[in-house]
A and B are shown apart, each in its own frame.
Chain A
Amino acid sequence: MNALEVSDLSFAYGAREALRQVNFSLPAGQFAALLGPNGAGKSTLIALLTHLYDVQRGEIRIAGHSLKTSPRPALRQLGVVFQQSTLDLDLSVEQNLRYHLALHGLSRRQGAARIDAELARQQLTERRHERLRDLNGGHRRRVEIARALLHAPRLLLLDEPSVGLDPASRLALGQHVRQLCREQGLSVLWTTHLLDEVQPSDELLIVHQGRLVASGRADAVSLEHGGSLGSAFTRLTVAGVCS
């Protein structure tokens, strides 16, 4: 079963179409980069995948559950790291994590072991009592990833997670998330507008003007549309060439 299936998804803000007939799927353990220039429709897609907006046309299935007809089991299988930090800076790492568990209906007792495991996995155990305000940007992102994985979702959605991070932290974050895919079978959808965050072996989705204009392995997409990822991206999004 795919971790994510998006079928014929369209969305309009009144008369303005933001997404048109978008189709893609993400199998278990897959890392996919969703690339698109500003205004391509990425934010609308994220709002739909996180159930902030209701699906107007088409279908989104998370681990087989339709977001339209059974949002609760679907959201249980979804972990999200938003572009802007949604952590409470005055609370400690552990307090932030406990709050998230509560939102998923889990008690402190049920969640204690998960917090221990997730903090260890993100190498944050020593920082569990520190206030978020005292952590650097890279560590805060890790806390957000730990939080997003606490309820053991099958799909992790990261919306431009590298915003505000220095190059070393960006690289480390990308490596860390890909490792989670390989070792835990987690599926990841990583949105970005930075080409250097995409690796040749990644699954790549390029959106432009609300349409999915290319999908497939990044190296194959690059080869098909211009040789390098940069030239392929330019051809697909600036020149308006669609596959």
Chain B
Amino acid sequence: MNAYWHCFSGIVMREWLRFVLQRTRLLSALVRPLLWLLVFAAGFRAALGIAIIAPYDTYIPYEVYIVPGLACMILLFNGMQGSLSMVYDREMGSMRVLLTSPLPRAFLLASKLLATSLISLLQVYAFLAIAWLYGIQPPVMGLLLALPALLLVALMLSALGLLLSNAIRQLENFAGVMNFVIFPMFFLSSALYPLWKMLEASPWLYWLCAVNPFTHGVELVRFALYERFNLLALAVCLGLTLVFALLAVWTFNPQHAALRKAN
């Protein structure tokens, strides 16, 4: 059991050191959501009125509405980018070292996903701290309750990213992931607009948003941030994380990729 712990903590430590040493990483992770918050949301504030919807008890400005979605956006980008590099790396880079470890491959991959998710949380809380200074101040207890929710969403998105990168040969670069995964997942969700607004616009768009796992991730975090519990979102996120992780580990076989390339 100790061997597993040493291995896991070593993988987390490596991710932490890489994060600390690559100082521009934090900055680039924060630029995107901050632009949305400080520029986009400010511009749309007047155009979009948000009615009273759960978990909020009162009318809220648009900036308050989009903060949970932007926090999840960091997780979405990091999860997809991290998973893509794991797949790219498995035949030549540091993943080969990881895979020659005597510990089980499923454990190594799960540890790697968890480690990158933990590092993503640091970026999310840095963003929430800036949002706090900007005036978006959820309850302190909400910030604590959001931690496990954010971790679960980070794991779900990383596992999904790994599964997609394994399964779809075309997703060989980040531009492909941006166009075919990140943007559709982000825009077809409740991150930027509540789903009832989408229903007014188009029922089928509403349903696409409603079945999008990212919507459930955003809602889980939104509810947790305001000390509320969303059972449906939790169940969906838990279930999908398990399914995505199992399928991702199962399909992460360098031999499958080599055979697929040869055929």
Contact = CB atoms under 8 A, between A and B. Distances in A.
Interface of A: 13-14, 16, 47, 50-54, 71-73, 75-76, 78, 80, 82, 84, 86-88, 90-91, 95, 98-107
Contacts of B11: 99, 102-103
A14 B97 contact: no
21 contacts: A13-B261, A14-B259, A47-B254, A50-B100, A52-B91, A53-B254, A73-B102, A86-B93, A90-B17, A90-B22, A99-B11, A99-B13, A102-B6, A102-B7, A103-B10, A103-B98, A103-B103, A104-B3, A105-B4, A105-B6, A105-B103
Given A16-B262, A47-B254, A53-B258, A99 B14 contact: yes
A90 B100 contact: no
A155 to B, nearest CB: 12
A72 B102 contact: yes
Contacts of B91: 52
Contacts of A105: 2-4, 6-7, 102-103
Contacts of A95: 14, 17
B137 interface: no
Interface of B: 2-4, 6-7, 9-11, 13-14, 17-18, 21-22, 90-94, 96-104, 108, 253-255, 258-259, 261-263
Nearest to B9: A102
A84 B92 CA distance: 7
Given A16-B262, A105-B6, 5 more contacts: A13-B261, A52-B99, A73-B102, A90-B21, A103-B103
A14 B4 contact: no
Contacts of B14: 88, 91, 95, 99, 102
A103 B258 CA distance: 25
A76 B255 CA distance: 21
Contacts of B102: 71-73, 75-76, 104-105
B98 to A, nearest CB: 6
Contacts of A71: 102
Contacts of B258: 13, 47, 53
